[in-house]
Amino acid sequence: DTEVTQTPKHLVMGMTNKKSLKCEQHMGHRAMYWYKQKAKKPPELMFVYSYEKLSINESVPSRFSPECPNSSLLNLHLHALQPEDSALYLCASSLTTGDSYEQYFGPGTRLTVT
Amino acid sequence: QQQVKQSPQSLIVQKGGISIINCAYENTAFDYFPWYQQFPGKGPALLIAIRPDVSEKKEGRFTISFNKSAKQFSLHIMDSQPGDSATYFCAASWSSNYQLIWGAGTKLIIKP
């Protein structure tokens, strides 16, 4: 199974809402990533988890809060977002962070902030 | 020096033709060069990748050509099909590093 799943597929939220994005993989990968992708742009790295510990935070605003409850699950908690945060949020995983060149991506969550 | 420059931004090719996308880099520490394919509404998927000790790698209709001295690599899609229409990203990474350095992407359209 080489699949990374993400839920929900689409999310519309107001600026005062709190919501969460969920990502799951069962490939035994120990590195998991959150990316943000704007239209016609490459993915932009937000967070990296290695062995369930946050190892990289690419200066992401605190209104985005990641969580890794176990080695298969990755969440992204959203609070007080801005309209400019509307984007495709992608989760990815790789065997380890040293294998980042071979990442498996989920289909993404299309987020719209109104 | 961390950049990967990708061209063209968009490309239209007739069915059956050869699609060519080019990338260039500066950082000689890069040692892995993957290409990702992304369809609308989907996440990127690893298509093919190469290490700098090899000048060419072929998988089916997809070939990466690598020129270490010029610090350039390219993706060739032979016998291009409408199903190949997607956005293609080149990227670069180096050993034991968490980062992928992405090119800007090329939107490829294959006309029937």
Structural contact between residues B23 and B6, judged by C-beta atoms closer than 8 angstroms: yes
Whether residue B1 is predicted with pLDDT greater than 70 in this model: the reply is no
Which member of B96, B98, B105 has the closest CB to residue A40?
B105
Rounded distance, CA A56 to CA A24, Å?
19
Higher pLDDT, B89 or A100: B89
The token pair at A10 is: 């689409």
**What is the predicted pLDDT for the residue at B2?**
76
Q: What is the pLDDT of residue A2?
A: 67
Q: Give which of A41, A101, A110 to mutate to test B binding, by max B Cβ within 10 Å.
A: A101
Candidate from B44, B99, B104 with C-beta closest to A100: B99
3-state helix, strand, coil in chain A (%, to 5): 5, 55, 40
pLDDT tens digits for chain A (114 residues)? 669 999 999 999 999 899 999 999 999 999 999 999 999 999 999 999 999 999 999 999 999 999 999 999 999 999 999 999 999 999 999 998 888 878 999 999 999 999
Per-residue pLDDT, B98: 79
Residues B15-22 have a mean pLDDT of: 98
Is there a contact between B37 and B88 (Cβ–Cβ < 8 Å)?
yes
B107 and chain A: CB distance < 8 Å anywhere?
yes
Strand partners, A36: A44, A89
Percentage of residues of chain B with pLDDT beyond 70:
99
